[in-house]
Chain A
């Protein structure tokens, strides 16, 4: 009770403190402004801590805790439940934004006043949203006894589909990325209001890199989570909610490349002032769209409706930041841009950067358009339309191809002018190397050895585009190219990009070990793309049924059921043991399968896939709830009636009552005729009297099936039949995804590269002192 009040109070404290800080800083009273800012941050962190404590101590009388946690939930999930709801995720956004403010502010130098002002007003608004959209409300119907609120024994629990380790690490990471967007926005605005579009560039540089690295890591984590969850459609689905994080990430990368041009050439001053603010504005726009219900049902992520006042504040943040950014840019930014140095003509690194930034901006704009499409189409066409993943892939592949080409070629372009032949001479080695690797891939794809475990019935015949191939490729590409060419072409581009950057790492590493970050990131992107292309393009998939005692061949694996790991099938940790033997390897897969008690109808099965990570491929297996009966519901038949049973047909002919129904072993028999494929045979279903009452006997029909008579109705002469299977049958889904490890490897390298760059470019002189622009990265280029 008190803790909730404290939390609420801390949110109000944060609103007041941030407002005071903003006003004080604006009035050029930096010292009290600073302390008010710290107080506000303390309020936000305190509010978060008190909510986390409510969860940790199981205070189910709070609506939010009740809705997202339960008594037996492991402590890690109880903490993660803090951000599993709408209110908690806004709180997380506030916490990460405040954290970034505290860390970055000392490095803002001459921009500190405006930076703090913008930041303080933003955090005040975010805290105000939390004041309305509060997680500290008590359940309204709570039982109050002598002034004490009775605590419900348990809560609704965290949605089972979310109970996975990713819910613990993915949201904090991606929200840390979202928090970092405010840094760039506030800095860009401060630079324009301070009328200095140059000094901020080396200052903001490491934070922009860090921001893109964290966001990228968060995006990849989300992709891995989706990959490990059934039914979420692989790594990436181009869902509006996914795009809300993808769009700012792409624009942050574009901004970072703009920074590099300004740092080296003193150009693009106005462009960078605008680009610094765009990721934040687009993220706020996306958040408003996804949280407001404007997207309606068109996202596969569902969000609860937001409090109206909170929504208006969020809309206010968007409109004010949009107006501020464009107002300042038109009023000041463009003017500051006149200080840019003139363009030097010719093929040089700047031309590569312009093309790259243009392509990234187009990609980001296309994704933003898709993200907002349901909203736009509802306004323009009168009905919400949604853009499907396939359309994104078809449209964006035209941007990804030149981007990958640029990623391959640009590292060889120096800041000084080069001739085309000079340039091509430099990347010829990497080009040749990637041609060789592509040839090797082609040979591998065609080899019967490829996909150690899946040779056999689904081995793709690449020439004719077997169904497996056709489907995978159309889904991936939408081009009417032969599948093999499409995949090989993309693999070539990705390997060219990877080898080119690896080559440059080799060249640069000798001179400056720390300056390889950019090339490392590019290598990561290329490897990631290669992994996505191969694992999706060459994926094999089969749906089958495995009887309990009869090992069954699926793809080229033999699947043999080997029991469950828990006796209690309602235990969340229960898994099915399935022995997998393939030509390549043998192991026991343990996909999750457990039941949820369901008051509405029969208990529902929850399944989690098992992913076997082999160095060269992933085998992804899910096992559904076993089927015990050949019929779905008990079959009720009157004399002379028939009913279908799978592909067979059952007819109830007649029944025989015992001579003395009261005798100890009285037996009732129903004569049935089973017809299957024009063959009919007689079957007798029986029921006997035992000491405890009437009981059905199991009559074996064949190796697959029993019949049991569950009951008789003397009034209408009907009988109730059940058809148990001799062995329960497990429905299974098996996927074979080659080279998935490249996706993980690429994501890891991408983050490593970002971290390296951020460290390399970190600003060691946090003050107004003039910063000498480091050009170490460029030196070897001009020297080479």
Chain B
């Protein structure tokens, strides 16, 4: 009888601990999840850690290491354009990047990024692949 009860208690305690840990993680995720935005959404957003993804208009790319200036016009998936000025650590190989994610905030209509992710071109498709059978 005692064994039965302790077994059930153990299971309940384990369940509670697991549930608590999972809810803790979920809350942490909920609190810190950073939104992915389009250009239109970014312009109306006051958030800090906005993620703006898109491609670089190469003709506008200014990548001057000596003066530490990096800026370009980003084109998001809706085709909207926005000027991005990068203020954080230098980013390499931007000329080759198919997609970048600028992380930052909007200041006077310009997206000021503190961090920039260059998309890994894994499975990057050089030609249109929607061809099907």
* Residues on B with beta carbons closer than 8 Å to the beta carbon of A373: 29, 33
Is A159 a contact partner of B121 (Cβ separation < 8 A)?
yes
* Residues on A with beta carbons closer than 8 Å to the beta carbon of B89: 543
Is B127 a contact partner of A63 (Cβ separation < 8 A)?
yes
Within 8 A of A (CB), among B72-92: 77, 89-92
Given A231-B91, A398-B21, A543-B90: A385 in contact with B35 (beta carbons within 8 A): yes
Given A302-B122, A362-B18: A134 in contact with B133 (beta carbons within 8 A): yes
Is A731 a contact partner of B124 (Cβ separation < 8 A)?
no
* Residues on A with beta carbons closer than 8 Å to the beta carbon of B91: 231
Least CB distance, B1 to chain A, in whole angstroms:
13
In the complex, what distance in Å separates the CA atom of A143 from the CA atom of B125? 22
Which residue of B has the minimal Cβ distance to A303? B123
Q: Check: A345 CB closer than 8 A to any chain B CB.
A: yes
Is A384 a contact partner of B120 (Cβ separation < 8 A)?
no
Is A66 a contact partner of B62 (Cβ separation < 8 A)?
no
Is A345 a contact partner of B6 (Cβ separation < 8 A)?
yes
Number of A-B contacts (CB under 8 A): 209
Is A607 a contact partner of B122 (Cβ separation < 8 A)?
no
* Residues on B with beta carbons closer than 8 Å to the beta carbon of A598: 58, 95
Q: Check: A89 CB closer than 8 A to any chain B CB.
A: yes
Q: Check: A622 CB closer than 8 A to any chain B CB.
A: yes
Q: Check: A604 CB closer than 8 A to any chain B CB.
A: yes
Is B124 a contact partner of A377 (Cβ separation < 8 A)?
no
In the complex, what distance in Å separates the CA atom of A302 from the CA atom of B124? 6
Given A67-B127, A302-B121, A731-B65: A388 in contact with B34 (beta carbons within 8 A): yes
Is B101 a contact partner of A231 (Cβ separation < 8 A)?
no
Least CB distance, A3 to chain B, in whole angstroms:
18
Is B92 a contact partner of A607 (Cβ separation < 8 A)?
yes
In the complex, what distance in Å separates the CA atom of A733 from the CA atom of B88? 13
Query: A137, A139, A361 — which one has the most chain B CB atoms within 10 A of its CB?
Result: A137
Q: Check: B126 CB closer than 8 A to any chain A CB.
A: yes
Is A66 a contact partner of B126 (Cβ separation < 8 A)?
yes
Is B118 a contact partner of A231 (Cβ separation < 8 A)?
yes
In the complex, what distance in Å separates the CA atom of A238 from the CA atom of B117? 13
Q: Check: B12 CB closer than 8 A to any chain A CB.
A: no
Given A67-B127, A302-B99: A358 in contact with B18 (beta carbons within 8 A): yes
Query: B53, B96, B117, B124 — which one has the most chain A CB atoms within 10 A of its CB?
Result: B124
In the complex, what distance in Å separates the CA atom of A369 from the CA atom of B77? 26
* Residues on B with beta carbons closer than 8 Å to the beta carbon of A465: none
Given A231-B92, A307-B132, A627-B66: A301 in contact with B22 (beta carbons within 8 A): no
Within 8 A of A (CB), among B105-124: 117-124
Least CB distance, B103 to chain A, in whole angstroms:
8
Which residue of B has the minimal Cβ distance to A545? B66
* Residues on B with beta carbons closer than 8 Å to the beta carbon of A374: 36
**In the complex, which of the residues A383, A394, A632, A731 contacts B28, with contact meaning CB atoms closer than 8 Å?**
A394
* Residues on B with beta carbons closer than 8 Å to the beta carbon of A66: 126-127
Is B127 a contact partner of A139 (Cβ separation < 8 A)?
yes
Main SS of chain A's interface residues?
Answer: mixed
**In the complex, which of the residues A85, A139, A160, A607 contacts B125, with contact meaning CB atoms closer than 8 Å?**
A85
Which residue of B has the minimal Cβ distance to A355? B14
Is A67 a contact partner of B125 (Cβ separation < 8 A)?
yes
In the complex, what distance in Å separates the CA atom of A88 from the CA atom of B41? 36
Least CB distance, B102 to chain A, in whole angstroms:
11
Q: Check: A305 CB closer than 8 A to any chain B CB.
A: yes
Is A366 a contact partner of B22 (Cβ separation < 8 A)?
yes
* Residues on A with beta carbons closer than 8 Å to the beta carbon of B120: 161, 232, 241, 300-302
Is B121 a contact partner of A162 (Cβ separation < 8 A)?
yes
Least CB distance, A313 to chain B, in whole angstroms:
12
Query: B28, B123, B125, B130 — which one has the most chain A CB atoms within 10 A of its CB?
Result: B123
Is B133 a contact partner of A132 (Cβ separation < 8 A)?
yes
Hey, what's the 0/1 contact readout for A290-310 against B, CB within 8 Å counting as 1?
000000111111111111110
* Residues on A with beta carbons closer than 8 Å to the beta carbon of B7: 343
Is B36 a contact partner of A383 (Cβ separation < 8 A)?
yes
Q: Check: A156 CB closer than 8 A to any chain B CB.
A: yes
Given A231-B93, A362-B18, A604-B95: A300 in contact with B29 (beta carbons within 8 A): no
Given A297-B101, A307-B132, A543-B89: A601 in contact with B119 (beta carbons within 8 A): no
Is A68 a contact partner of B126 (Cβ separation < 8 A)?
yes
Main SS of chain B's interface residues?
Answer: mixed
In the complex, what distance in Å separates the CA atom of A300 from the CA atom of B121? 8
Determine the interface band of chain A, counting residues with CB < 8 A from chain B.
35 or more
Which residue of B has the minimal Cβ distance to A233? B117
Is A386 a contact partner of B58 (Cβ separation < 8 A)?
no
**In the complex, which of the residues B33, B62, B123 contacts A302, with contact meaning CB atoms closer than 8 Å?**
B123
Hey, what's the 0/1 contact readout for A153-178 against B, CB within 8 Å counting as 1?
00111011110000000000000000
Query: B22, B65, B91, B98 — which one has the most chain A CB atoms within 10 A of its CB?
Result: B65
Least CB distance, B17 to chain A, in whole angstroms:
8
**In the complex, which of the residues B29, B53, B133 contacts A369, with contact meaning CB atoms closer than 8 Å?**
B29
Within 8 A of B (CB), among A712-733: 729, 731, 733
Least CB distance, A401 to chain B, in whole angstroms:
12
* Residues on A with beta carbons closer than 8 Å to the beta carbon of B117: 231, 233, 300
Within 8 A of B (CB), among A371-390: 373-374, 377, 383-388, 390
In the complex, what distance in Å separates the CA atom of A160 from the CA atom of B53? 21
Least CB distance, A232 to chain B, in whole angstroms:
6
Hey, what's the 0/1 contact readout for A639-664 against B, CB within 8 Å counting as 1?
00000001000000000000000000
Least CB distance, A578 to chain B, in whole angstroms:
15
Least CB distance, B40 to chain A, in whole angstroms:
12
In the complex, what distance in Å separates the CA atom of A307 from the CA atom of B133? 9
Within 8 A of B (CB), among A258-315: 296-309
Is B26 a contact partner of A369 (Cβ separation < 8 A)?
yes
Least CB distance, A622 to chain B, in whole angstroms:
6
**In the complex, which of the residues B3, B28, B51, B129 contacts A395, with contact meaning CB atoms closer than 8 Å?**
B28
Q: Check: A140 CB closer than 8 A to any chain B CB.
A: yes
Question: 9 nearest interchain CB pairs?
Answer: A604-B95, A731-B65, A385-B33, A67-B126, A297-B53, A304-B125, A156-B126, A67-B127, A159-B121
Given contacts A86-B129, A358-B18, A632-B69, 7 further A-B contacts (CB under 8 A): A68-B126, A157-B126, A301-B120, A302-B99, A309-B132, A598-B95, A607-B93
30 contacts across the A-B interface (CB closer than 8 A): A84-B123, A85-B125, A89-B123, A132-B133, A133-B132, A156-B126, A157-B126, A159-B121, A161-B93, A161-B120, A230-B92, A232-B118, A232-B120, A296-B36, A297-B101, A301-B120, A302-B119, A302-B122, A304-B123, A365-B22, A369-B25, A373-B33, A384-B36, A395-B29, A543-B90, A600-B58, A604-B96, A606-B96, A607-B93, A731-B90
Which residues of A line the B interface, CB within 8 A? 63, 66-68, 84-87, 89, 131-134, 137, 139-140, 155-157, 159-162, 230-233, 241, 296-309, 343, 345, 354, 358, 361-362, 365-366, 369-370, 373-374, 377, 383-388, 390-391, 394-395, 398-399, 543, 545, 596, 598, 600-601, 604-607, 622, 624-625, 627, 630, 632, 646, 729, 731, 733
